């Protein structure tokens, strides 16, 4: 336990990690590679913000394109970050309660949360997201702002891609939970 930390972490209490399966290891590796690659987007976002602020306050020039690029880059980072956070078990939950439970109880809660909450939500987002992107592509949707970006379907497709990645991360976590709950090794 770290000095000054009043609440011990999950691993400090139980020193437990979920077992891996061959498939979960493959999915996790893919998610980490994608997450590490896309993490550079935050540098690009910072550069665009600095450039936009510089142009606005030094030259008095505001560019809608830069503002839209900012939210596009942020959206990409956020949507990919969801799968990366689930993969690293760094997502938000009620840790004050969760930390106090046994590893088996935590695993059951996570399993039911994935099966009854997250996976149906992901399926719904993908199911309704694909026609959303296709409609944007077919109509040649562009930004409603004057001087805004075209190809609106590209950023909308990030929504679907992000949920596909999140679904993969959820499946990997589900495999690991299943292995922990039903194929425990006894010593």
Residues 6+ apart with CB under 8 A from 75: 155, 158, 159
**DSSP secondary structure string, 14-30?**
H---PPP-HHHHHHHHH
Q: What is the full per-residue pLDDT of the chain (187 aa) written as tens digits?
A: 444 444 444 444 344 588 999 999 999 999 999 999 999 999 999 999 999 999 999 998 888 888 899 999 999 999 999 999 998 887 776 667 777 888 899 899 999 999 999 999 999 999 999 999 999 999 999 888 887 888 899 999 999 999 999 999 999 999 999 999 998 764 3
Q: What is the pLDDT of residue 123?
A: 98
Measured distance CA(31)–CA(91) in Å, rounded: 15
Q: Please state, in angstroms and as integers, the Cα–Cα distance from residue 42 to each residue in 61, 85, 133, 177, following that order.
A: 24, 16, 24, 32
Q: What is the pLDDT of residue 98?
A: 73
pTM (two decimals): 0.83
Q: What ranges do the domains of the chain cover?
A: 21-93+101-178
Q: What is the pLDDT of residue 37?
A: 93
């Amino acid at each position: 336990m770290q000095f000054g930390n009043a609440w011990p972490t999950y691993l400090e209490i139980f020193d437990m990690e979920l077992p891996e399966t061959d498939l979960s290891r493959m999915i996790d590796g893919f998610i980490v590679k994608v997450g590490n690659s896309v993490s550079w987007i935050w540098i690009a976002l910072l550069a665009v913000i600095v450039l936009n602020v510089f142009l606005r306050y030094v030259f008095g020039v505001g560019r809608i394109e830069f503002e839209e690029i900012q939210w596009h880059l942020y959206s990409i980072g956020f949507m990919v970050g969801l799968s990366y956070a689930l993969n690293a078990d760094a997502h938000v939950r009620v840790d004050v309660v969760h930390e106090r439970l046994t590893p088996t109880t935590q695993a059951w809660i996570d399993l039911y949360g994935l099966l009854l909450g997250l996976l149906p939500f992901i399926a719904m987002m993908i199911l309704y997201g694909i026609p959303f992107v296709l409609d944007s592509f077919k109509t040649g949707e562009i930004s409603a702002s004057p001087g805004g970006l075209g190809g609106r379907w590209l950023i909308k497709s990030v929504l679907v891609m992000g949920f596909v990645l999140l679904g993969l991360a959820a499946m990997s976590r589900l495999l690991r939970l299943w292995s922990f709950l039903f194929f425990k090794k006894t010593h």
